[in-house]
Amino acid sequence: MFTKNIHSRINIVLFVILLLFILIIFKVFYIQVIDYDNLYSKAEDLWSRNLPVEGDRGNIYDSTGVLIATNETRASLVIIPNQVTDKEETAKKLSEILNTNYEDMLKHVSKKTSIERVHPEGRRLNYEISSKISELNLPGVYLMKESKRYYPYDKMLSNSIGFVGVDNQGLSGLELTYDKYLTGSYGAIKYFSDAKGNRLKLNEIYVRPQSGMNITLTINFDIQSALERELNNAMDRYDADGAWGIVMNPNNGEILAISSRPNFAPSNYKDYTIEEINRNLPVWMTYEPGSTFKIITLSASLEEGIVDLYNDHFYDSGSIKVGGATIHCWKHGGHGDQTYLEVVQNSCNPGFVNLGLKLGKERLFKYIKNFGFGTKTGVDLNGEGSGIIFDVEHVGDLELATTAFGQGVSVTPIQQITAVSAAINGGILYKPYIVKSINEPETNTVVLENKPVKVRQVISNETSIKVRDALEKVVSLGTGRNAYIDGYRVGGKTGTAQKVSEGKYMVGNYIVSFMGFLPADNPKVIAYIAVDNAKGITQYGGTIAAPIAKNILLASIDALNIEDSDGGTEMRYTYLDKKYYTIPNVIGMEVKEARKALKNFKVEYSGTGNTVIYQSPSEGVRIKEGETVRLLVSE
Amino acid sequence: MKKFNMPLFISVILLSIFGIIMIYSSSYIWASFKYNNPYKYVINQGIFLVIGIFSMLYISKIDYHIYEKYSNKLLLICLILLILVLIPGVGTVRNGSRSWFGIGSFGIQPSEFTKLGLIIFTSKYLVNNDIKTFKNLFPILIIVFITFGLIMLQPDFGTGTIIVMSIMGLLFIGGMNMNFIAKGVIVGIVGIIGLILMAPYRLQRILSFLDPWSDPLGSGFQIIQSLYAIGPGGLLGMGFGNSIQKHFYLPEPQTDFIFSIISEEFGFMGVLIVSTLFLILIISGFIISKKSIDMFGKYLSYGITFQIAFQAILNLMVVVGLIPVTGVTLPFLSYGGSSLLITLCSIGIVLNISKNVY
């Protein structure tokens, strides 16, 4: 009976033991099967050491696919101190190659850490240095791929693109604004190690780094190149304090080119002053626009119907009295009797004062605001200024008068070009932008795409047509003649503004500018150029800025394939100007006949014989009077 | 005379051989680091294994009634050794406990002998006393308490627990009144609370098992490292010798946490095999106990088997994170010479008992 009792209690104990074993087995099953992924990934993190592999920073392209910012492959020195067998020797050799302090290097190789990056002296090493290191085959010393930002065109677009720091992080410009898109993510070479950091003989796992996203700009490389070249020339020729320009598509706000002087080389940004690398003058600088602002007054007056350009007349005596002050015209003695179209052509200050007074301050300032002045345009470039315009309530007649011809207001170049774009494109103010799209590098999926943003309709299309016509006359018949391009209809407006320093106008120190666009009847491109304090020349927008704008417009014609147009106003030639003539076909003619047909040109010929078999330039090309036409003659 | 119980013998041999293989696999990294000799632990253990197996076979031939005769003396020797080991200079401290008699790199723990000695003593006591009455139960409880107290002075909580619990297991089948058991459980809980209050690190151990990640570098460290070994093992394991956790992540992987390395290298399959071997051993031992022709053999074979079962379960539950870390080794598999030797000798006794069954 007692034994039976013992046996039943043994059975109870055995039962409990079995239950506990089942519990243990279930727990193991849970750990090894159900919680496997979680524990495995955690354990793998514990076991694996990542040798970091940097992902490439995204490329920046112009709208035609030209690479403006990309990467060069470099190497980064990584040390796994636990695997370094001879610390002193390793430190000595590395410090010799890198030309750095031995003590510092010894600290790196002896540091109690799993992976030590030698920063910054061991970062972004070029091939020469890194191959020296890899030849040594030092245990625990690794070279990992890194990329270094590379700007193939050096200073091109530098103030807008910005630059990156030693960690490839964007520090200014688009590199900063779009840093999170451009930055790639780190990949790694994963190797397994024991708890002391020694490498285990297990296969390495390569985790591919992710490249950053690519940015496509609205910039047109050819126009940008032309702008850079022209600004360089202007700086050289006029020893100017600065120069800047913007080229835009007036019909959607796309910035086709933007640049300024001084500029900088992004790869050596440390060699420049903070002002040089941080100020993007075309969006940052604010100054009196001068006469280019008259386009605003003109547009407002036409829209409000207070003036008939072609029939209303204005008599300019050389000055006009407003609110007890006398405002002089830039032309001594005045322009005399003019139609308002001529007022625009001559950029006649008293004429515009009169328009301003007719409009009144409420109406004029309403247009000024609607054209976007006084507020940031919202362009996707950082550091934009908003400019200063008078508070309408405090505007007296004098302020109204000066504002009408562009004095006493302070605006940015980007505000001016977007406002004038609105004046000539049919009246629509667009938000300017430089980033066209951001694409994922592998699939090219569009991550972000900027579309034209219509801000508001400022003036009617009819008014815009009149503004274009008036501005075309400025170029063909008025102050903008230096921007005239034969065969194309060019519109434009000059500007010459005195700079203000400590509340006073500076003497002999101007910002001269020109706003030009073409074709005048259907604008495809608009360019704004300003030169700050040009020396050795009379500082007029027409003489300095207009020729620059012309060259840029010429480049735009090629870059954008703009067709030449008819029906424009022929340029009124002065004695200084040479006329353009179209070359006729002379091939097949006798030399005598050919000379006659080419009477407006200088003729040079080569070969022997009497019959023209080749001519250069060919038929239909327009060249200036007196320029050379070459002929090849034969029997 | 009958032959001894084959399933018990085979499961013990298989566990021991698997143990020595796993001690090699789990310890060679640690051994090469610590002693510059990867075979250090496996050789030590191998020597004890060979001695142990011969001792087991030899003891299986000795009539177990001899222990009944000398049980008092055996226990007395054990208690004297337990006192001696506490004296600095005589006993040496290893892993924080003064529980060793050091002979060179070999070490012997008197508490291991005491585990067997006390089972022999209790078995005899149960044969001679009806412990249904408190009067008869009390003396054996006192002896257990004294032994436990001596071991806790080392201190060695794990061994102390095993001794107390295996005697309780014996007293349970010895007819202990259920009332006493209930009271004992209460006393036990109070005692545990008391011990925790005495040494707060025990509380931290308890808390760390509930959420080891709350203190990953402190009290939760061992259990996390154990889970990192078991988890990645998956169903089939990483293969023999391929454990990563033994590469210094799990300290002293050949001792308390060897089951983690087994799980890592052989996966769930390995766990099932080891568990099956232990269950064969336990069931065989209990069958021997049930069939034993006399009461002493019954108690003794049950006591020895129960102790191995309890210790194995305690170790496995710690390793898989079911209970707090207690510092108990896994019989036959964990590194530990004297432990293996005594366990094999105990099995020898059970094998001898198995020769005298109905």
Higher pLDDT, B276 or B184: B276
| Alpha carbon distance B138, B127 (integer Å) | 15
Q: Which residue of B has its CA nearest to A7?
A: B290
Residue A194 to residue B302, Cβ atoms within 8 A: no
Measured distance between the N- and C-terminal CA atoms of chain B, rounded to whole angstroms: 12
Contact at CB, B173 and A25, closer than 8 angstroms: no
pLDDT above 90 covers what percent of chain A? 28
Q: Quick one: pLDDT at residue A459?
A: 93
The answer to whether residue A42 sits within a structural domain is no
Give the domain CATH number at A620.
3.30.10.20
> Per the structure, how many domains does chain B have?
1
Question: pLDDT tens digit string along B100-130?
Answer: 777 666 677 888 899 999 999 999 999 998 8
Residue A573: pLDDT band with limits 50, 70, 90: low
At residue A568 the predicted structure's pLDDT band, cuts being 50, 70 and 90, is low
Highest average pLDDT, of A213-217, A348-352, B196-200, comes from A213-217
A212 and A227 assigned to the same domain: no
pLDDT band, residue B267 (cuts 50/70/90): very high
pLDDT of A215 over the 80 cut: yes
Of A168, A183, A216, which residue constitutes the final position of a domain? A216
Is residue A484 over pLDDT 90? no
Q: What is the pLDDT of residue B188?
A: 82
SS3 category, A61: strand
Residue of B170, B213, B249, B260 to mutate, testing the A interface (most A Cβ within 10 Å of its Cβ): B249
Q: In this complex, do B230 and A31 lie within 8 Å of one another by their Cβ atoms?
A: yes
pLDDT at B208 over 70: no
For residues A3 and A560, the model is more confident at A560
Q: How many interchain CB pairs under 8 A, A with B?
A: 113
**Which residues of chain A have a CB within 8 Å of the CB of B289?**
10
Alpha-carbon distance B235 to nearest alpha carbon in chain A (angstroms) = 7
Quick one: pLDDT at residue B176? Answer: 82
CA B301/CA B354 separation, integer angstroms: 9
Stated length of chain B: 358
Residue A191 · residue A51 · CB < 8 Å: yes
Per-residue pLDDT tens over the stretch B138-189: 899 999 999 999 999 888 888 999 999 999 999 999 888 888 778 878 988 8
Instruction: Based on the fold, state whether residues A308 and A323 are members of the same structural domain.
Output: yes
User: What would the mean pLDDT of A187-213 be, rounded to a whole number?
Assistant: 79
Mutate to test the interface with B, among A6, A198, A199 (most CBs of B within 10 A): A6
- Does A251 map to a domain? yes
- Does the pTM surpass 0.90? The reply is no
More confident residue, A195 or B131: B131
Residues of A with CB under 8 A from a CB of B: 2-3, 5-7, 9-10, 13-14, 17-18, 20-21, 23-25, 27-29, 31-33, 35-36, 38-40, 42-44, 46-47, 192-196, 198, 200, 202
Q: Which contiguous run of DSSP H or E holds residue A613?
A: strand A611-616
CA–CA min distance A262, chain B (Å) = 57
B283: confidence class by pLDDT, cuts 50, 70, 90: very high
Q: Which domain holds residue B75?
A: 6-355
Within 10 angstroms of residue A356's Cβ, the number of other Cβ atoms is 25
Catalytic residue among A48, A160, A259, A291: A291
Q: Give tens-digit pLDDT for A109-145.
A: 888 877 788 888 888 888 888 888 888 888 888 888 8
CB contact under 8 A, A196 and B248: yes
Asked if the Cβ–Cβ distance from B275 to A24 is below 8 Å, we say yes
For the cut 70, the answer to whether the pLDDT of residue A524 exceeds it is yes
| Top-confidence residue, A23 or A476 | A23
Mean pLDDT of chain B: 88
Residue A248's pLDDT is what?
Answer: 95
pLDDT score recorded for residue A579: 67
- For the ranges A553-562, A591-600, B105-114, the maximum mean pLDDT occurs at A553-562
* Mutation to test the B interface, candidates A27, A31, A42, A202, most B Cβ within 10 Å: A31
Q: So what's the pLDDT on residue B183?
A: 82
Residue A177 sits in which domain range? Answer: 50-216
Q: Same domain for A320 and A176?
A: no
Report the distance separating Cα A32 and Cα A17, nearest Å: 22
Asked if A212 and A232 sit in the same domain, the reply is no
Query: Are A200 and B320 inside 8 Å of each other by CB?
Result: no
pLDDT of residue A592: 83
Rounded to the nearest angstrom, the minimum Cα separation between B316 and chain A is 7
- Angle (deg, nearest 10), helices B258-291 and B337-355: 20
Residues of B in contact with A35 (CB under 8 A): 231
Model pLDDT for residues A359-417, shown as the tens digit of each residue: 888 889 999 999 999 899 999 988 888 888 888 888 888 888 888 888 888 899 999 99
Residues A233 and A376 in one domain: yes
The answer to whether residue B1 scores a pLDDT higher than 60 is: no
pLDDT of residue A194: 80
Would residue A525 count as lying in a domain?
A: yes
CB A234 within 8 A of CB A243: yes
Q: The tokens of A313 are what?
A: 């007349």
Q: Has residue B332 got a pLDDT over 90?
A: yes
Q: How far is B230 from chain A (nearest CA, A)?
A: 6
Q: Any idea what the CATH number is for the domain that residue A166 is in?
A: 3.90.1310.10
Q: Is A291 a catalytic residue?
A: yes
**pLDDT confidence tier of residue A193, bands split at 50, 70 and 90:** confident
Of A528, A560, A592, which residue constitutes the final position of a domain?
Answer: A560
Instruction: For residue A121, give the DSSP letter.
Output: T
Q: Copy the structure tokens of residue B347.
A: 């099995």
Nearest by CB: B231 against A20, A32, A202:
A32
Residue B217, domain member (yes or no): yes
Q: Which residues of B touch A199 (CB under 8 A)?
A: none
Which tens digits make up the pLDDT trace of B287-322? 999 999 889 999 999 999 999 999 999 999 999 988
User: For residue B174, which residues of chain A lie inside 8 Å, CB to CB?
Assistant: 6
Q: For every residue of A155-192, which 3-state class applies, written as one string? A: CCCHHHHCCECCCCCECCHHHHHCHHHHCCECEEEEEE
Residue A435 included in any domain: yes
Joined tokens for residue B317: 């539950």
Its sign, for the CA torsion A298, A300, A302, A306, is negative
Same domain? A200 vs A281 = no
Whether residue B1 is contained in a domain is answered as no
Side-chain half-sphere CA neighbours of B5 within 13 A: 28
Q: Pick from A23, A32, A198: which is nearest to B268 by CB?
A: A32
Which is more confidently placed, A175 or B251?
A175
List chain B residues with CB under 8 Å of A196. Answer: 248
Residue A273 has pLDDT above 90, yes or no: no
Q: Give the Cα separation of A133 and A97 in Å (integer).
A: 7
Q: What is the structure's pLDDT at A572?
A: 58
Based on its alpha-carbon atoms, the radius of gyration of chain B, rounded to whole angstroms, reads 20
pLDDT (0 to 100) of residue A398: 85
Q: Do B231 and A13 touch (CB under 8 A)?
A: no
Q: Are B154 and B97 in contact (CB under 8 A)?
A: yes
- Give the pLDDT band (50/70/90) at residue A60: very high
Q: Residue A224 pLDDT more than 80?
A: yes
pLDDT the model gives residue A437: 93
Question: Above 0.85 for ipTM, yes or no?
Answer: yes
**Position B94 confidence tier, pLDDT thresholds 50, 70, 90:** confident
Mean per-residue pLDDT for A36-65? 85
Q: Which amino acid is at B313?
A: I
The CA distance from B193 to B186, in Å, is 11
Contacts of A31 in chain B (CB under 8 A): 227, 230-231, 263, 320-321
Flag whether pLDDT at A575 surpasses 60.
Answer: no
Predicted confidence (pLDDT) per residue in B40-83, tens digit: 899 999 999 999 999 999 999 999 999 999 999 999 999 999 99
**Minimum distance, in Å, between the CA of residue A114 and any CA atom of chain B:** 14
Is the pLDDT reported for residue A3 higher than 80? Answer: no
Residues of B in contact with A32 (CB under 8 A): 230-231, 233-235, 263, 267-268, 271
pLDDT for A498 equals: 80
Mark whether A171 and A317 lie in a shared domain.
no
Instruction: Find chain B residues with C-beta within 8 A of A42's C-beta.
Output: 228, 231
Task: Compute the nearest-CA separation of B267 from chain A (Å).
Answer: 7
The pLDDT of residue A70 is above 70? yes
Q: Which among A531, A560, A589 is the end of a domain? A: A560
What pLDDT score was predicted for residue B301?
A: 95
Residue B165 lies in a domain: yes
- Cβ contacts of A579 within 8 Å, gap of 6 or more: A573, A600, A624, A625
Instruction: Kindly state whether residues A90 and A119 are assigned to the same domain.
Output: yes
pLDDT for position A323: 78
CB A433 within 8 A of CB A255: yes
For residue B189, the distance in angstroms to the closest alpha carbon of chain A comes to: 20
Considering its fold, how many domains does chain A have in total?
4
pLDDT, tens digit, for every residue of A403-459?
Answer: 888 888 889 999 999 999 999 999 999 999 999 999 988 888 898 899 999 999 999
Mean of pLDDT values over A288-310: 89
Q: How confident is the model at residue B105, as a pLDDT? A: 60
Of B172, B230, B267, the CB nearest to A9: B172
Tell me the three state secondary structure of residue A339. Answer: strand
* Domain co-membership, A171 together with A265: no
